[in-house]
């Protein structure tokens, strides 16, 4: 049996090593993730069904072939098919114009022509597949999942024959008006989530160090484009959810690249740039409420703001509890809560069905940081298969 002095020495040696090995995640509650993994390894009846569902999804993903930007039929204006390309969703042919040009805006109404361009859907498929495989590896340590993630990442980002160029120059183009807009950057907003997943692969036999280095280089070039291009600067100045999601991308990229000081600076700036400027003292988000999908966009912005708050918690910047002249993330969630729970009727526009899954994601994150009442609210709007929902592994 070890003496108290020996135990203290062991603590002083082992604990710093454990924390040094902790991945520098942005959008995940790191403590919750670690506890969930420990519970799974201990055979927890609560966590095991979720991880088993996760690994079933990961096994299905292993049987799929990776997608790439080279699969689209169209050639971007650059002449380089490696460039990402898409059409803006809410822009339609002008019926008053012989050739339909220039397109006109119909907010909230998606032009089906958008679906003819495959990059957006394929990016979503790739991101979801990579994250699933990375999370499955983290919980099981099975090399096949890391190797599977490597295959998808390499195809989309690294293989010279199929890689995406690190820019979004031609995203959300509007026919007759432009070849691409800053607004299109939001189409890959869940790159941030994927990068957290890649960090979980660190040290995995199926994820070579040279691949991590190459992925970091892609992210470095993209980060430079994001923070210096006209499109990126336009999005940075967006006063609504686009600006919030832009910050989420910047934070996750900077974190992935080990730019700790930059991460903290962005998070501190977001207190005024995003929270104070977007949220009223009563909790309303005016820029989202003016949209034709006001409930959806109010929630979409809260998804971004709660992600920023989680990144803040992971980096010593409290965005959950800060209140600027009564404006806060908590106030915004509290304002939406009666509508989520069906206690009040939504009186703004919402021309499409609102999905409770969106509210669940906001509330489950808030529950981990703001109190059990938000967790309880999340349970009341949780998906039917909540006992298999991997969100519970992270928040």
Q: Enumerate the domain spans of the chain.
A: 64-237, 238-395
Burial category of 372 from C-beta neighbours within 10 Å (exposed 0-12, middle 13-18, buried 19 and up): exposed
Mean pLDDT of the chain, nearest integer: 94
CB-CB contact of 60 with 146 (8 Å): no
Query: 42: Cβ–Cβ under 8 A, 6 or more apart, which residues?
Result: none
First to last CA, the chain: 37
> For 61-101, how does the pLDDT look when each residue is reduced to its tens digit (9 = 90+)?
999 999 999 999 999 999 999 999 999 999 999 999 999 99
CATH topology classification for 238-395: Glycosyltransferase (1.50.10)
Query: 76: Cβ–Cβ under 8 A, 6 or more apart, which residues?
Result: 83, 84, 85, 169, 170, 179
> For 24-71, how does the pLDDT look when each residue is reduced to its tens digit (9 = 90+)?
899 999 999 999 999 999 999 999 999 999 999 999 999 999 999 999
Query: 89: Cβ–Cβ under 8 A, 6 or more apart, which residues?
Result: 110, 111, 114, 172
pTM of the model: 0.93
The yes-or-no answer to whether 64-237 and 238-395 have a common fold is: yes
| Cβ atoms within 10 Å of 108's Cβ, excluding its own | 17
Using CA atoms, how far apart are residues 31 and 93, in angstroms rounded to an integer? 50
- 297-323 as b/e: b if 16+ CB within 10 A: bbbbbbbbbbbbbbbbbbbebebbebe
Mean pLDDT of 338-343: 97
Task: State what percent of residues in the chain have pLDDT above 90.
Answer: 92
CATH number belonging to domain 64-237: 1.50.10.100
């Amino acid at each position: 049996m070890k003496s108290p002095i020996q135990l203290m020495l062991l603590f002083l040696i082992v604990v710093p090593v454990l924390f040094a090995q902790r991945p520098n995640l942005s959008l995940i509650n790191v403590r919750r993730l670690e506890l969930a993994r420990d519970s799974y390894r201990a055979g927890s009846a609560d966590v095991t069904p979720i991880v088993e569902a996760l690994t079933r999804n990961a096994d299905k993903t292993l049987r799929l072939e990776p997608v790439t930007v080279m699969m689209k039929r169209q050639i971007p204006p650059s002449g380089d098919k490696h460039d990402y390309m898409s059409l803006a969703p809410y822009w339609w042919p002008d019926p008053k114009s012989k050739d339909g040009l220039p397109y006109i805006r119909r907010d909230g109404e998606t032009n089906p022509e958008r679906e003819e361009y495959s990059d957006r859907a394929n990016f979503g498929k790739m991101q979801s597949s990579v994250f699933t495989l990375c999370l499955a590896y983290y919980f099981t340590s099975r090399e096949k999942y890391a190797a599977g993630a490597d295959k998808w990442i390499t195809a989309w980002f690294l293989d010279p024959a199929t890689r995406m160029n690190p820019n979004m120059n031609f995203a959300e183009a509007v026919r007759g008006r432009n070849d691409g807009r800053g607004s299109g950057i939001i189409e890959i907003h869940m790159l941030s989530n994927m990068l957290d997943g890649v960090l979980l692969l660190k040290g995995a036999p199926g994820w070579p160090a040279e691949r991590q280095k190459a992925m970091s280089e892609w992210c470095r070039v993209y980060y430079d484009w994001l923070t210096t291009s006209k499109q990126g600067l336009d999005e940075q100045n967006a006063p609504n959810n686009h600006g919030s999601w832009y910050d989420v991308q910047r934070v996750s990229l900077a974190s992935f690249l080990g730019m700790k000081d930059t991460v903290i600076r962005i998070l501190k700036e977001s207190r005024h740039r995003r929270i104070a400027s977007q949220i009223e003292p009563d909790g309303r988000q005016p820029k989202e409420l003016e949209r034709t999908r006001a409930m959806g966009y109010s929630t979409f912005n809260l998804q971004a703001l709660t992600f920023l708050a989680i990144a803040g918690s992971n980096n010593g910047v409290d965005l959950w509890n800060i209140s600027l002249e009564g404006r806060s993330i908590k106030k915004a969630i509290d304002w939406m809560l009666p509508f989520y729970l069906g206690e009040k009727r939504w009186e703004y526009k919402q021309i499409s069905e609102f999905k409770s899954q969106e509210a669940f994601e906001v509330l489950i994150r808030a529950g981990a940081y703001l109190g059990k009442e938000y967790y309880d609210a999340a349970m009341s709007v949780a998906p039917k298969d909540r006992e298999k929902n991997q969100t519970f592994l992270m928040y």
